[in-house]
Amino acid sequence: MTRRFVTGDENFSPGHRACIGCGEALAMRQVVKALGDNIILVNATGCSEIIASALPTTSWKIPWIHTLFENTASIASGIESALKVVERKGKRKKAKVIAFAGDGGTSDIGLQALSGALERGHDLLYVCFDNEAYMNTGIQRSSSTPYGAWTTTAPSGKMSIGQKTWKKNMPAIAIAHDIPYMATACPSYPFDLMDKVKKAVSVDGPSYLHIYVVCPTGWRCKTNLTIRLGKLAVETGIFPLYEVEEGKYKMSVDPPELTPIKDYFKIQGRFKHLSDEVIEEIQKKVTGDYQRLKEKMEGL
Ligand SMILES: Cc1ncc(C[n+]2csc(CCOP(=O)(O)OP(=O)(O)O)c2C)c(N)n1
């Protein structure tokens, strides 16, 4: 389905300031490619904003508005409500409202506003770009940072293994709002990602996409490993690709056998301090969570 709408058009221009190997820049490009022109982008502070819209320049060729972390979903809701009125008065066809935020902006700072927008049923798409920390401010931990990862505010050392808490399950939180569409995606699987964007904007009501974006700067990995690491996150079951449409769960990629997580860990500096025992503990959690997720799938 996707190949038909992938054109040479780019609404996210090159020449932005993302780090080499940035998975988030790749994801943003794929998302807006699938969205077309009739959209309004609401952008929280975070890497997505600072790389693409430093005054007086912009990489966006579509209507775009800056927001704070805590009010991204509120501003998106307000714009969507105003557009409804404009459409009702017959002034123009309604544009689709899209919100972009990082994992800090979504699972920590903007969670209350997001929950409100999903609960009120606004017709908008909220996209979380999850690079697993507060990256643009210097790699501070977020509630989406995985257990055992080094960050500047969860440093590893004699007294600490790094991040001490398990990653917050933001997709499950979005699903708990009974929204019509939720999906996880990763730019290592571009057609799957763009298909999901198309589906997300075709529903009437709120939709949520949680996109896994590799960050070589913060993950302390080689910049040419972005695509490989995204695939490994899926193949190990660390970041399963799935969608939930009107309450029905469907796996997008289901490897016949999960790759051991150590293959994913060993090429990232942020996990290099972990002992075999801790890796084993994380492996058990990943395998268990994956199994529980698969049990929710239709027809299994
Ligand atoms: C209310 C509020 N708290 C903290 C900050 C400082 N701040 C600016 S960017 C940022 C990190 C954002 O992390 P995330 O949303 O994950 O985006 P990323 O930089 O990783 O893309 C923080 C904490 C702020 N601007 N506003």
DSSP symbol at 154: S
What atom of ligand 1 comes closest to residue 102's alpha carbon? 15
Going from the Cα of 133 to the center of ligand 1, the distance in angstroms, rounded, reads: 9
In angstroms, the Cα distances linking 164 to 75, 153, 154, 157, 288 are 33, 11, 8, 12, 19
* Domains of the chain as residue ranges with CATH: 2-295 (3.40.50.970)
Q: Where are the alpha helices (DSSP H) in the chain?
A: 23-35, 47-52, 72-88, 103, 111-120, 170-175, 190-202, 216-219, 226-235, 261-265, 276-295
CA 141 to ligand 1 center in whole angstroms: 11
Burial class (CB in 10 A: 0-12, 13-18, 19+), 246: exposed
| Angstrom distance (rounded) from CA 25 to CA 41 | 15
Check pocket membership of 152 for ligand 1, CB cut-off 6 A. Answer: no
Ligand 1 touching residue 290 (CB < 6 A): no
CA distance 44 to 26: 18
Across the chain, mean pLDDT equals 95
Is 144 a pocket residue for ligand 1 (Cβ < 6 Å)?
Answer: no
What tokens does 181 get?
């569409």
Closest listed residue to residue 81, CA positions, set 120, 26, 135: 120
What b/e sequence results for 8-36 when a residue is b if at least 16 CB atoms lie within 10 Å of its CB, and e otherwise? eeebbeeebebbebbbbbbbbbbbbbbbe
How does pLDDT run across 158-210, given as a tens digit for each residue?
999 999 999 999 999 999 999 999 999 999 999 999 999 999 999 999 999 99
Reduce the DSSP state of residue 251 to 3 states and report it.
strand
Q: Is the pLDDT of residue 11 over 60?
A: yes
181 CB near ligand 1 (under 6 Å): no
Structure-model confidence comparison of residues 6 and 186, the more confident one: 186
Query: 225-234, pLDDT tens digit by residue?
Result: 999 999 999 9
pLDDT tier for residue 148 given thresholds of 50, 70 and 90:
very high
Q: What percent of the chain has pLDDT over 90?
A: 92
Does residue 145 have its Cβ closer than 6 Å to ligand 1? no
For Cα atoms 227, 231, 232, give the angle at the middle one, nearest 5 degrees: 115
The count of C-alpha atoms lying within 13 angstroms of the C-alpha of 85, restricted to the half-sphere facing its C-beta, is: 5
Query: What is the structure's pLDDT at 114?
Result: 98
What is the tens place of the pLDDT at every residue in 65-121? 999 999 999 999 999 999 999 999 988 778 999 999 999 999 999 999 999 999 999
The mean per-residue pLDDT over the stretch 41-54 comes to 96
For strand 207-212 and strand 181-185, is the pairing parallel, antiparallel, or unpaired? parallel
pTM: 0.97
Q: How far is the CA of 45 from the centre of ligand 1 (A)?
A: 6
CA distances for 153 relative to 101, 149, 162, 214, 219, angstroms: 21, 11, 8, 19, 14
Rg (CA), the chain: 19
Looking from the CA of residue 135, the nearest atom of ligand 1 is 20
Lateral strand order in the sheet of 39-44: 64-67, 39-44, 96-102, 124-130, 207-212, 181-185, 242-245, 248-251
Q: Given the CA of residue 48, which atom of ligand 1 is nearest to it?
A: 21
Residues recorded for the chain:
300
Q: Assign 159 to helix, strand or coil.
A: coil
Taking CA atoms only, the protein residue closest to ligand 1 atom 12 is 134
